[in-house]
Structure 1
């Protein structure tokens, strides 16, 4: 297979050929491509270039910035198939789902193209002879660091909000999908003035250089909690604002009054879609004993129908399997899956574990794979208490016919998003703040425009005379 960087005429990723990134197809293990990582000097140069471009871009009329974003969104739509092809080959994400992600990214760019020009401050009621205003202004240079599990959609959200509000950007995609990220950056860059948008390839060290740069005013990161905490430490030294959407260990509660077969289908969707590689995937399940047997058997049947799923690479697959083997060693029972298949690639079967107990890694840590650990509880209150007892705070799902239980649960769960009777879904325009180890700040929605700006208070009085 030819190198994607050559095949798709991608921009040069960096000069350090000794420190390269090799990407293998997680389905069959074949070579996808190699990319050289940026040097520290290149990262410093990009940040400086973005800083020089910040003044004029901030003063570009908001409507013109919106028009540029709208044109860039159209280009992403036109290249959705190319982005999907590269994404599938790098991460194993099925082509149809990868294309949906690219189109979702284009839609998000369009959304911020509309929202940016109407983002507004406030006038204040002061002295009648004076004018008092609260005015939003761009923060400056934004470092955008994005994950591999939905690379185009996530990146477009952060890039769109930053650019719409007049910030300049240095964008580093995950080292697990550098070709996808560089292609996206190459598609977007021509629609903005020189210096406004840079793309850089590299590993965690390159990301640390970028996040810790004194010229960066905002670091927006979607990815692991460990990396997010390192970014927060670096930003504490530079004074940069930090936006983090990090790991999650999202619970699913199954009450005694719901159809257990329907609940199992919901659980399978939440645990197995995108191979479980979604930040808001179902990571741990608490099911009422009254419906536990039927629910678990139905969930195991869903897993058997799902079969093998591609994970992003072999090290990640091995980490998922470690969680499963830890649970089995501590007494959990494999109801489906749980066996590493023979052959190349990084596939893993949809897996169901019953008999899970507190302390098992599948309940206390984010597995981020197609694993559904089932914990049987005696009553709804016990399940709710255990669901709340966690280091993360991203999302949770509750399946119940009881309005009382639904109300109690959404108020008690210490997470940014609670879904009742649907593992996915929600009205457009919603935005949540993750909690605890899951991060901080609004990472999407109209509120992201507020995160990307800072407010200046202005008081104007007429001169005497």
Structure 2
């Protein structure tokens, strides 16, 4: 008798089993898509205000279940409870935002002949496969699911196999407020994601995750003319200019590198500091790392901890110096300390690849122009941060850096409703904000002329 394959998730704080969930077979993935396709015409014909009301009701239900979702997230990924709760609250806000924006999303009327009307009308694309990550599972899924649903699409959602209970429970809460067949959940790993991406009945694949997976999705979608909406890996640079207060700059660098153990899509991955500031900045950054030590949660699992440590070992073997941290924590769980590396060179993995851990690699450069040039010389294009007191240099930096988001004098933050479009291997398309409604719809042009006109 064949054994059912299952997802097993260990608590990254203790190593104890917290989740066992059967993997969806290929037939279940196909059945979910078939059911979503069958439900698509009815949901597309539903009035936008009614679709929005359903999403708004779901947002209230998610808010009521915030503690439950945060507890699940904490147990499956090790995300600190307050951060996990903040992610749920952010997801609620996003669902509310799309419930308000959905009915307002419209097209245009063109001025043509007197006897004709020309319309540009956004319509739902059809079936959207949503593949979401583990590092902020509720907030990320809320954006993609909310925008897809209010736009009139039906959805098949595959949460990350690293937090299957969190992702499933969130989607179940939404599905309770939607008509039958509009939202389906598939429990699976990368095999299930590939099955969904290759299904000819899927019109959009929205993926947040690694760049390698994103490239495979893009190829699968290109082969059959589907849309790929991708926010993938980042190797975000932070530039420390001459003239900034090094204690403040070190606090910003530590926040960007160590928050959520470095497991944020726009975490600081590499630091460029001008030579005149380097000694004081590194001293202050090490002091910050000591303050963060013991306060950060674990990495998501042992496999990821080994990958992070491999990047550190690569740097040390190539001549980097460990100024703080640099060794996995002994004992249970997949903890890794905040780590500061100095004497880094541009060929080390910590500068060329996304580490996604609490690592702050510092590269000293002679001047601001060199920092911008080296930060720009990268395969990724997600975000970057520039700390400078000089407005002219800030202008130079944001115009020169080939990334979707440039933050001046703050590693995190942004106005509500903002959106960004990643570049290079970091993805393509708007993954949030009002512009995501455009991504989830296709514009149809209608030329309506009078008979005999």
Q: Deviations over 1:369-419 (max 9, x none)?
A: 000000001111111110000000000000001111000000000000000
1:88 to 69, 74, 86: 74
1:72 aligns with 2:29: no
1:180 to 145, 156, 166: 166
Instruction: Name the CA distance, whole Å, in 1 between partners of 2:405 and 2:365.
Output: 23
1:330 aligns with 2:330: no
Show the 5 A alignment for 1:396-411. 396-411=384-399
* 8 Å contact kept, 1:17–1:36: no
| Length-normalised TM-score, structure 1 | 0.96
Show the 5 A alignment for 1:202-281. 202-281=188-267
2:409 to 418, 421, 429: 421
SS in 1 for 2:123: strand
Instruction: Name the CA distance, whole Å, in 2 between partners of 1:397 and 1:160.
Output: 29
CA displacement at 1:33 relative to structure 2 = 1.6
In structure 2, the residue matched to 1:393 is 381
In structure 2, the residue matched to 1:52 is 38
SS in 2 for 1:393: coil
Greater shift, 210-219 or 305-314, is seen at 305-314
In structure 2, the residue matched to 1:447 is 435
In structure 1, the residue matched to 2:303 is 315
* 8 Å contact kept, 1:278–1:368: yes
Instruction: Name the CA distance, whole Å, in 2 between partners of 1:362 and 1:464.
Output: 69
Instruction: Name the CA distance, whole Å, in 2 between partners of 1:410 and 1:33.
Output: 44
Instruction: Name the CA distance, whole Å, in 2 between partners of 1:341 and 1:94.
Output: 17
SS in 2 for 1:347: coil
Show the 5 A alignment for 1:363-402. 363-402=351-390
Instruction: Name the CA distance, whole Å, in 2 between partners of 1:376 and 1:237.
Output: 44
CA displacement at 1:17 relative to structure 2 = 5.8
CA displacement at 1:79 relative to structure 2 = 0.2
Q: Deviations over 1:200-256 (max 9, x none)?
A: 110101110011111100000000000000111111122210000000000000001
Instruction: Name the CA distance, whole Å, in 2 between partners of 1:79 and 1:377.
Output: 49
Instruction: Name the CA distance, whole Å, in 1 between partners of 2:432 and 2:409.
Output: 23
Q: What value does the CA root-mean-square deviation take over the aligned residues?
A: 0.9
In structure 2, the residue matched to 1:122 is 108
1:30 to 2, 9, 16: 16
1:111 to 88, 97, 118: 97
1:351 aligns with 2:339: yes
SS in 1 for 2:176: helix
| Length-normalised TM-score, structure 2 | 0.98
Q: Deviations over 1:260-281 (max 9, x none)?
A: 1110000000001111001110
Instruction: Name the CA distance, whole Å, in 2 between partners of 1:31 and 1:42.
Output: 25
In structure 2, the residue matched to 1:12 is none
CA displacement at 1:464 relative to structure 2 = 3.6
Unaligned runs of 5+ in 2: none
In structure 1, the residue matched to 2:151 is 165
Instruction: Name the CA distance, whole Å, in 2 between partners of 1:388 and 1:33.
Output: 41
Structure 1 stretches of 4+ moved >4 Å: none
In structure 2, the residue matched to 1:291 is 277
* 8 Å contact kept, 1:257–1:400: yes
Unaligned runs of 5+ in 1: 1-15
Q: Deviations over 1:4-61 (max 9, x none)?
A: xxxxxxxxxxxx9621000000011011020001010011000000000000000000
How many residue pairs get matched? Answer: 450
* 8 Å contact kept, 1:213–1:238: no
